[in-house]
Structure 1
Amino acid sequence: MTIIHIITSLGIGGAEKLLVNVVNEQVKQHSVHIIYLKPIKDLVPVLDANIKVKQIPLNFLTVSRLKKYYKTVKPTVIHTHLGHADLLGIWSARNQKANIFCTMHNIYFKKNFLDAIFFKCYTYLFLKISKNCKVISISKSVEEHVLKKLKLPQNRSFLLYNAIPNSIKAYKTTKNKTINLLFIGRLEKQKSIPTFLKAIYQLKQQQNVNITATIVGDGSLKKELETLAKKLQIKHLVNFVGKQEDTNPFYNNAGIFILPSIWEGFGIVLLEAFRAKVPIIASNIEGPSELINHNVNGLLFEPENHIELANHILLLINNSSLRERLAQKGFSTFTEKFQINTYVKKLNELYEHF
């Protein structure tokens, strides 16, 4: 097969990481192309050298340039990822003979009036242009969103959970007396990092609690979060390290992984923590709650409840056997259900049969 993937950018994010993992596996058997629209290419260096990568700028010529590329390549499959790429990719492919797929990577969460208007416009346009498109959801919560909010027919909806490679060595949690708490993700409202910082402040009030925190990622709230850490007098405990291409060393040094999001389509970082044998504490929301069985392969807390988060962290600090048990169960969850070679096999079957 000749497969073209279209994505908004190749920055460091969950959807982008999934795509990189998928194409690096697909290219072993197929001709694979990636088109990205915005000039953000952090993940290009980790792509297999046999993948054809091209940027088509996001402007009024995007659709015509995409059509020209299709004419040259003659794809079997056109597969889009994320908002701009979905709309422009599907629209430009509407008269192509190729099978058209779209992966939905997140759920809609009403943040404000403008977001609500944008989503209504997106829904209207998507339904108008996507009649020949099959939609893959990365979790049950995303699929429910697709069926109810986007009103997609059931026969064009498919569930395929995210996955990652098993090629990285599974790390053990650190044996240091100081427990390092790790967050990896965008520094945006969705991730609710103030909840994490307030939990650290709460723990700071306890005697004999030795913790540090590492926050990996960048975003519009970085300065605001650094100011909050200073205000809470925990700046000396929290290390903001910015965006990192290789996050594996951070998992290696982590004692506990924290995901405090208020909404999440899936959370590919949870799979990375499972693989690295780092115990997880995550908010009890759609997406993460499909991966984590409370007190079996991780702990869940109510969103934005920093007291409950602090209590869960303290429980794991004081109970090394529980940390080890959760880490081992998490690793088993990953190896049994979320390996990329199995994912790509199922994806290729969808390409061929639908």
Structure 2
Amino acid sequence: MEVLFVSHKYPPAVGGMEKQSLELVSGMKKHATVHTIVYTGGESRLRFFLSLEKKITETCRKHPGISVIHFNDGLIAAVCLRHKGYAHLLRAVTVHGLDVVFPSTIYQKYILPAFNRFDLIVAVSRATANACIERGINAQKVIVINNGVDTALAETSPSNDFHHFFNKKYGIDLRGKIVLTTLGRPVQRKGFSWFIKEVVPGLKGDFVFLMIGPFHKKRSLSDRLFHCLPQKIRAKAALFLGYPTDENTIRNMLLQDGHDPKVMHLGKLPFDDIERILHAANAFVMPNIRVEGDMEGFGLVCLEAALCGTTVFASEIDGITDAIQHHKNGILLPSKNAAAWVSALNDLIQNPSTYAAQAQDAKTYTLENFGWDKMADAYWKHFKMLRK
């Protein structure tokens, strides 16, 4: 079999979708002859999209053995819906979450229903699959293949000199403290500002909450200009662009008088440092909340934390429930239920050794059920079924 992968989310850009796209292409090479048309930043993104039809037809002409074409997210699939010249190919698309629920009347009424033209629609979680079916996508065409995770993380070990390293590099002494951490862009669905406001004040004991991810410590001019846009336009643009809609709220919380000094934002860090922190942390929190027109398609970072031996506490919503199974590789808590979150985390703060002893079981469960190889094998299985 020869397969053509088309993606505008690909390294050297960094992100969950870029990682998934790379691992899918790499993993499929052990099963099939792989061809790619991917955006790597060498041209403008607009030019890449405008030239896609020509690139695809030329690739198919050059490699007539191609029988399946795969689009790696709903946006690029939508752009290619009206293409001509390769109708003979079986067509598959992976949808991640926002590319299903994006709150645009035109998109929901005219574009998304046209996805029924595809032969296979791969959802990264049950929540994403259900969102597709609720919007009129043929359930017979929708399957769920969870994203993988880099299982090599399970083979790494905690750093013996972590506290010295962290204090020297970041000026924070973590010795004797319970470390809670989180990771991600400050978008509203992540629930970071809610957690700081509603949960942190109820936590007892000697703990510190470390936030990691892109973050501007001062408000930028571009953000001021962005907020001059009409609210309806700004809301849709923020979702489409992944704009940090929670950043200003978090910044104001960290700067206000009376701010809890136990909450710190470290900004964007090298992955080696993130890995060290995950190994040293007592808990990783993912306190997502529901946001109209947005959703968490999966919970890859939860799996990474579990493989590093960190106890995961996550909201029981969206695609997170595909990544975390309650009391198997993490603890699921009701979203926006501050009392439940406070109770669970206070129990960890008071009994850290109990949770640390359970970390190996969580790591083992994650290894047995997730992996990039498992993901690629599942795609291969369904691509083969398409050809029957």
Q: What TM bracket, shorter-length normalisation?
A: 0.7 to 0.9
1:215 is matched with 212
1:323 to partner: Cα distance: 1.5
Helix, strand or coil for the counterpart of 2:378? helix
Choose from 103, 110, 118 the match for 1:116.
Answer: 103
Helix, strand or coil for the counterpart of 1:77? strand
Q: Which has the higher contact order (CA 8 A, sep 6+)?
A: 2
Distance in 2 separating the partners of 1:20 and 1:214: 27
Structure 2 segments unaligned to the other structure (5+ residues): 161-174, 216-242, 290-294
1:49 is matched with none
Contact 2:150 2:304 in 1 (8 A): no
Distance in 1 separating the partners of 2:2 and 2:261: 51
Residue 104 of structure 2 aligns to which amino acid in structure 1?
I
Residue 117 of structure 1 aligns to which amino acid in structure 2?
S
Deviations 1:154-198 (A, max 9, x none): 321212122123223445678952222221222211211112322
Q: Does 1:194 align with 2:188?
A: no
1:61 to partner: Cα distance: 3.9
1:4 is matched with 4
Contact 1:78 1:98 in 2 (8 A): yes
Choose from 254, 270, 279 the match for 1:252.
Answer: 279
Residue 146 of structure 1 aligns to which amino acid in structure 2?
C
Contact 2:70 2:91 in 1 (8 A): yes
- Give aligned pairs, total: 334
1:242 is matched with 268
Contact 1:160 1:343 in 2 (8 A): yes
Deviations 1:187-218 (A, max 9, x none): 211211112322564156x3x42224132245
1:291 to partner: Cα distance: 3.8
Residue 188 of structure 1 aligns to which amino acid in structure 2?
V
Deviations 1:314-339 (A, max 9, x none): 21121124312442232122122112
Deviations 1:110-158 (A, max 9, x none): 7xxxx5325x525522333542430011222211111121x22232121
1:20 is matched with 22
Choose from 225, 238, 253 the match for 2:250.
Answer: 225
Q: Does 1:286 align with 2:276?
A: no
Contact 1:140 1:159 in 2 (8 A): yes
Deviations 1:211-261 (A, max 9, x none): 241322455243442222222613563133226555433422322111111
1:334 is matched with 366
1:293 to partner: Cα distance: 3.8
Distance in 2 separating the partners of 1:106 and 1:239: 27
2:224 is matched with none
**Where do 1:68-79 residues align within 5 Å?**
68-74=58-64, 75-79=66-70
2:223 is matched with none
Contact 2:93 2:118 in 1 (8 A): no
2:153 is matched with 168
Contact 1:255 1:279 in 2 (8 A): yes
Q: Does 1:274 align with 2:332?
A: no
Q: How much identity, in percent, do the aligned residues show?
A: 17
1:98 to partner: Cα distance: 2.6
Structure 1 pair 28/293, CA: closer, same or farther in 2 (3 Å)?
closer
Q: Normalised by the size of structure 1, how large is the TM-score? A: 0.80
Distance in 1 separating the partners of 2:115 and 2:85: 7
2:83 is matched with 92
Q: Does 1:177 align with 2:176?
A: yes
Structure 1 pair 294/166, CA: closer, same or farther in 2 (3 Å)?
closer
Distance in 1 separating the partners of 2:99 and 2:340: 26
Q: Does 1:101 align with 2:128?
A: no
1:105 to partner: Cα distance: 1.1
Radius of gyration: which is bigger? 2
Structure 1 segments unaligned to the other structure (5+ residues): 42-53
